[in-house]
């Protein structure tokens, strides 16, 4: 493991080191992939932004572009610009750097909670097995996942439970960052599920291009969350995946969108 400090869980992954005003350093576990898991960079970029925003503001949304693949053997430097602060909203731009240059560019918005009308217009899927009734799917990432359903006809569709490993406490900003870590696991598969070459991973090169999250309600990332994902087809070597996320009580807590690239590998 090469890191500024040992990383064994999401608490340590999100414990960034301040190196100067509005600049933070983050590390992660070496998984043997060569590249960084995209969810790590999004989560740490959001965490860096959170560290410059005063309560009661909480993450409202983020929009991130993956500029190039990160190297899991190098730490990541997150540099921030304080775009705007107001009583209701705050905006931050974060650029993640490694030795080769920028690897991620993200803008994040924060909102102070407001009272008012609340309408549940999105309904969670019916008759979904509880996560405890499903087999665990081993992963060396810092979460648990359990699949419920997957199909590609008539459209790519996936249903799965996920949660962060370990107790994350009660800080809503930390849970939002941990959710950002989880959020990069499934969308690429949904985005490219209709591509005829995607099941043959040796023949196709894939990459996440951009990633967006909207936080509708407070989310607990260390409790089971239900991800309902759909793919929108593929054109110009790109596919779009969207997801609605529900907590165990059926509340719609967040939404995700990700565009992904798929190219046939040249021999």
Q: Read off the DSSP letter of residue 220.
A: -
- Walk along the chain (267 residues) and give the pLDDT tens digit of each residue: 334 678 989 999 999 999 999 999 999 999 999 999 999 999 999 999 999 999 999 999 999 999 999 999 999 999 999 999 999 999 999 999 999 899 999 999 999 999 889 898 999 999 999 999 999 999 999 999 999 999 988 899 999 999 999 999 999 999 999 999 999 999 999 999 888 877 777 788 899 999 999 999 999 999 999 999 999 999 999 999 999 999 999 999 999 999 999 988 876
CA atoms within 13 A on the CB side of 80: 26
Tell me how far apart the alpha carbons of residues 180 and 46 are, in angstroms, rounded to a whole number.
8
Overall pTM > 0.75: yes
Token pair for 238: 């790109």
- d(Cα 94, Cα 261) in Å, to the nearest integer? 23
* Domains of the chain (ranges, CATH numbers): 1-113 (3.10.129.10), 130-267 (2.40.160.210)
Instruction: Cite the active site residues.
Output: 184, 208, 258
């Amino acid at each position: 493991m090469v890191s500024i400090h040992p990383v064994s869980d999401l608490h340590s992954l999100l414990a960034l080191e301040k190196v100067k005003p509005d600049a933070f350093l983050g590390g992660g576990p070496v998984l043997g992939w060569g590249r960084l898991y995209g969810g790590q960079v999004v989560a740490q970029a959001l965490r860096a932004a959170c560290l410059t925003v005063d309560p009661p503001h909480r993450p409202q949304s983020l929009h991130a572009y993956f500029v190039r693949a990160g190297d899991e053997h190098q730490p990541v430097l997150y540099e921030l610009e304080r775009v705007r602060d107001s009583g209701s909203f705050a905006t931050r731009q974060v650029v993640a750097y490694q030795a080769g240059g920028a690897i991620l560019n993200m803008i994040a918005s924060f909102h102070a909670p407001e009272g008012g009308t609340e309408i549940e217009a999105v309904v969670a899927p019916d008759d979904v097995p509880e996560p405890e009734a499903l087999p665990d799917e081993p992963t060396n990432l810092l979460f648990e996942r359990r699949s419920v359903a997957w199909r590609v006809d008539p459209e790519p569709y996936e249903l799965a439970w996920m949660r962060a490993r370990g107790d994350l406490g009660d800080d809503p900003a930390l849970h939002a960052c941990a959710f950002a870590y989880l959020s990069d696991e499934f969308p690429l598969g949904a985005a490219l599920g209709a591509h005829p070459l995607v099941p043959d991973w040796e023949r196709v090169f894939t990459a996440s291009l951009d990633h967006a999250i909207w936080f509708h309600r407070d989310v607990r990332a260390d409790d089971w969350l239900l991800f309902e994902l759909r793919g929108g087809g593929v054109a110009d070597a790109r596919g779009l995946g969207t997801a609605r996320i529900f907590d165990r009580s059926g509340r719609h807590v967040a939404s995700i969108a990700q565009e992904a690239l798929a190219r046939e590998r040249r021999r």
